[in-house]
């Protein structure tokens, strides 16, 4: 593995995103919807650094299986427990790659009539895009590498790495 983004770089960028999101949602409570499992560390750090009131919920989707490439088929394996109607919702994703997962979930949640629905992704890989989907807030734009660390995994391993690494 090769280090791509250091722990310090990640923390600086998460702090910057939290400031911008807090300004954009000033005076409102935000429901953070984390996409499990990859976004859990990013979401925890983001929530702690935000200055607006937050609530949290999680959804779990599957699209990778056990490989390093998206299957292109998305399925919900754990749905939300919170109603979205009338709420300001921020979808929290680890990486936008093909765009299938975030596009699918965004449209599913939009149908639940939130007051607003925005997306934040720690990583964006435009080189892997199959569907035109752009997150509202992006931490880092990276090349089309398979990456692990800071919640991202390869066959459930490496989530605990503090930086982000390219799997060779």
- Return the active site residues: 97
Whether residue 37 has a cis bond before it, omega within 30° of 0? yes
How far is 91 from 32, CA to CA, in rounded Å? 6
How many residues in the chain? 168
Burial label for 107, CB within 10 Å (0-12, 13-18, 19+), is: exposed
> CB neighbours (10 Å) of residue 148?
23
**Element at 123 (helix H, strand E):** strand 116-124
Distances (CA, A) of 168 to 24, 31, 65, 95, 165: 38, 36, 19, 18, 9
């Amino acid at each position: 593995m090769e280090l791509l983004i250091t722990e310090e770089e990640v923390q600086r960028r998460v702090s910057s995103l939290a400031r911008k999101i807090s300004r954009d949602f000033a005076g409102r409570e935000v429901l953070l919807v984390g996409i499990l499992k990859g976004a859990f560390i990013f979401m925890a750090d983001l929530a702690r650094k935000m200055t607006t009131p937050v609530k949290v919920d999680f959804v779990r989707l599957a699209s990778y299986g056990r490989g390093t490439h998206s299957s292109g088929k998305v399925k919900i394996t754990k749905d939300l427990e919170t109603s979205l109607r009338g709420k300001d919702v921020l979808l929290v994703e680890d990486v936008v790659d093909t765009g299938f997962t975030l596009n699918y979930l965004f449209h599913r949640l939009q149908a639940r009539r939130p007051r607003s629905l925005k997306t934040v992704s720690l990583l964006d890989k435009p080189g892997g895009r199959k569907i035109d989907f752009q997150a509202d807030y992006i931490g880092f734009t990276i090349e089309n590498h398979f990456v692990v660390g800071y919640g991202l995994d390869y066959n459930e391993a490496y989530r605990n790495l503090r930086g982000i690494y390219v799997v060779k």
